[in-house]
Structure 1
Amino acid sequence: MGKRFLLFTEEWAGSGHRMAAEAVHDVLVAQEGTELSRIVGGLNTASPALRELSRFFYLSMLRYGKPFWQRIYDQEHLWGTMLKEPLGWWLSQRLMNTLLQEEKPDVVIATHAYCLSALARSKQKLARPFHLVSIPTDYQINHFWVHPQIDTYVVAHERVADHLMHSYQVDAKKIQVLGIPIRSVFSVAAKMDKRTWKRQLGLDEQFTVLVCGGEGGYGKITEVMKALVKEMEPLQIIVITGKNEKLYNELQDLLQKYPCSHRVIVKKFEPQMWQWIGAADVYITKPGGISCAEAMALRTPLLLYQPLPGQEKNNCSFLLNQKAAVLATDQEEIRSMIRQWRNQKQRDKIMKQMELVRRPEAAQQIAAYLLQM
């Protein structure tokens, strides 16, 4: 008899957490050892009202109160101590009554920390306990991800493992360094070179810059565009605005008012991002864990701009420390790095550092580990 897996995630705080769950799920369902694999929206199941409140607060903080959000994040240990147990107590009964008792999972996986304490509490109460696995989707970890009832931590890098052991006294036997799970298609796409991707997408075979702010089109993408179009040497610029209609229209208006000699392509939401990242010579984006893992899988140099408070700032610090990305703080620094990275040897330097961090087959390795537990 195969194993039964439940993957808990949240999509209201960006799409990365759900994409990580989907990456593992897609591998699990293709394996003979899997009887059931199901993705669950944790708060949507336990408390839809709390989900909407959390989403409203998160988006409001990002829009109007970024410094305040950063201060909250800097005090995550205090907030974790205050909120984890009450949340766990309040949500666990709802999860047990609505899902866990019915599905009887062998393994429960969390790619978002919100419901982890509730899952840990449920594990203690159920007559048939499950193996609890946490998979943080960033290159850092915080207090909300840590609980004595967690059986396995699957983390992105050895530095995260060290932090768990030294700051939270987690036993090394509980930690697996397997990477951030990304869709399996990225490991396949990594075998194609950039020239092939450009040809397949109908792009010119010239130096290409991809600009994207995630599914929501976050970050000051218009500023980035204004910097790029000022470049004297020809560029091929691809901007993907995701589901941000306002940004898409704003960029279209900008290009009409200020025509340039560069080839500029503005697109909306693109489900097959691996093609565009694979074709790009440089990827300008915000440092979400999934976005960075995808870019490194495809060996596309990362130019980070406008990291959001909290996890993204920490991801940025990690990647800069590993020399696996570069941060631009203004338009002039963007232009300076673009000029520098026109030189293939300069791009090769950062790609060499990315090799030390990239794990394109993380989802496959995580699924294999889960099946053999």
Structure 2
Amino acid sequence: MTKLLILSVSAGNGHVRAAQALEATLAQSFAPHTAVHVDAMAHVPAGFRKVYTDWYLQLVNRAPELWSYLHQRTDVTPHHAPSQRLRRGIERLSTVALVREIRRAKPDAVICTHFLPAELLMRERNRGRLECPVWLQITDYDLHNMWLVPGMTGYLAATEEVAFRLRARGIPPERIHVTGIPVMPAFSEPDAPEVAHAACASALGLDPARPVLLMASGGAGVGDLPSMVERVLALGGDTPFQVIAVAGRNAEAHARLEALSQRHPGRVVAVGFTNEMHKMMAAADLVVTKPGGLTVSECLALGKPMLLISPIPGQEEHNAGFLMEESAAWLAYDAIGLDYKVARLMADPAKLAAMAARSRALGKPQAARAVLQRVLGAKE
């Protein structure tokens, strides 16, 4: 029996969701092996956590141009550069409790869904204080320098291009494995798409015979979610489409969406925080979302066409580029573009069907299983 430690960082939701997907898949399909998921940010000082998580989110939302510059600069800064050594030194001083927690867990193998714990464990391995294998799961569809942590047992990549980039930047080919990005087991259920679509639409009180738009986020240049929904409801068309709007933990947005649903009976389903995003996606003909690595992986797993909005400079822009190159998504640069492209796509079922086919071809719904088979097989 293998005891697996999964380490994430709650800087955004994607790294945590990938870890949760691995944990859930192991519990469902890999008994008697066990897993413990630890969020690194739960074992660091409050000041470090605030800088590492809150500051990051504020930066990408309020100063995207500055974040873009930092993203580009750090991508070309070598690991041995003074600035990188200083950064790692600050991180080591701030993560003493985390390293202690990792030692206490005594895992047989470790999977990191963020580069921070991977860098800490690299130092532990180099100093002979950790002997178990450490794997690094990359959670985007492009490669940034920060993921190039030397000495990992294996690197788990989303696509062949990410694997190519790893090799091109010096990672030994035998340590690189294309698995996809882990998604929760609910996104890999084998129901036929048309059956899942009809059943999930009906369960939400929607008409399965009418098109459904899922809107999951707002952002800079596009507007807040209730405003976005109000605008698209005003779009013309022979068959007015229905909207599922997911506000998450934003109580104010959820209340405004509930008011919209009262003014547009039968056309809007307002959703707050939910653990059933797979059902919302299954019911949708088109998903409007930011191109975070985990979100788009879930859409691909279910074969959903996407209209992408407000990509974070750097990693999300590269995710969007990948999806558009592969004809699985369009990108709306601003509010006017959003309105135009929603109207155009929702009026063109053939185009949506073609995008959905490309999305399904790219999807890796069994990525979590592939990762665990690789890690546990290598361990055994």
Q: TM-score, normalised on structure 1?
A: 0.89
**1:306 counterpart (310, 320, 336):** 310
Moved more, 39-48 or 75-84: 75-84
The AA in structure 2 aligned to 1:3 is T
Offset at residue 54 of structure 1 (A): 1.6
Runs of 4+ residues deviating >6 angstroms: none
Partner of residue 289 from structure 1, selected from 284, 288, 293: 293
Offset, 1:116: 1.8
- What is the rounded CA distance, in whole Å, between the counterparts of 2:335 and 2:47 in structure 1? 41
- Cα distance in 2 for residues equivalent to 1:253 and 1:200: 21
State whether residues 214 and 245 of structure 2, in contact with CA within 8 Å, keep that contact through their aligned partners in structure 1: yes
In structure 1, the residue matched to 2:181 is: 180
**Residue 363 of structure 2: aligned partner:** 358
Q: Does the CA contact (< 8 Å) of 2:304 and 2:360 recur in 1?
A: no
1:137 aligns with 2:139: yes
Matches within 5 A, 1:1-373: 2-11=1-10, 13-31=11-29, 34-77=32-75, 81=79, 82-83=83-84, 85-87=88-90, 89-90=92-93, 93-96=96-99, 98-166=100-168, 168-188=169-189, 191-193=192-194, 194-205=197-208, 206-213=210-217, 220-233=224-237, 234-252=240-258, 259=263, 263-338=267-342, 339-373=344-378
Q: SS in structure 2 opposite 1:114?
A: helix
List runs of 5+ in structure 2 lacking aligned partners: none
Which residue identity does 2:241 align to in structure 1?
Answer: L
Contact residue 260 and residue 268 of structure 2 kept, 8 A: no
Q: Percent identity?
A: 26
In 1, Cα distance between equivalents of 2:37 and 2:142 = 24
Q: Secondary structure at the match of 2:311?
A: coil
Aligned pairs, how many? 364
Deviation at 1:108, TM superposition (A): 1.0
* Structure 1 residue 56: Cα displacement: 2.5
- Counterpart CA distance in 2 for 1:311 and 1:268 is 27
* Structure 1 gap segments, 5+ residues each: none
Once the two structures are TM-superposed, the CA of residue 179 in structure 1 deviates from its matched residue by: 0.3
TM-score (norm 2): 0.88
Q: Which amino acid aligns with 2:202?
A: R
The offset of 1:308, in angstroms, is 2.1
Kept after mapping to 1: 8 A contact 2:121/2:130: no
Q: More displaced, 57-66 or 318-327?
A: 57-66
Distance 2:324 2:352 in 1: 15
Indicate the SS of the match to 2:252. Answer: helix
CA distance in 1, matches of 2:261, 2:128: 59
Question: Which deviations, in whole Å up to 9, do the C-alpha atoms of 1:316-365 show, x marking residues without a partner?
Answer: 11211222211012334333333334332211211222233210111111
Secondary structure in structure 2 of the residue aligned to 1:116: helix
CA contact (8 A) 2:12 2:57 kept: no
Partners of 1:239 and 1:154 lie apart in 2 by: 33
Residues 102-111 or 340-349, more deviating: 340-349
Classify the secondary structure of the residue corresponding to 1:356.
helix
Amino acid at match of 1:349: A
8 Å CA contact retained: 1:9, 1:40: yes
CA RMSD between the two structures: 2.4
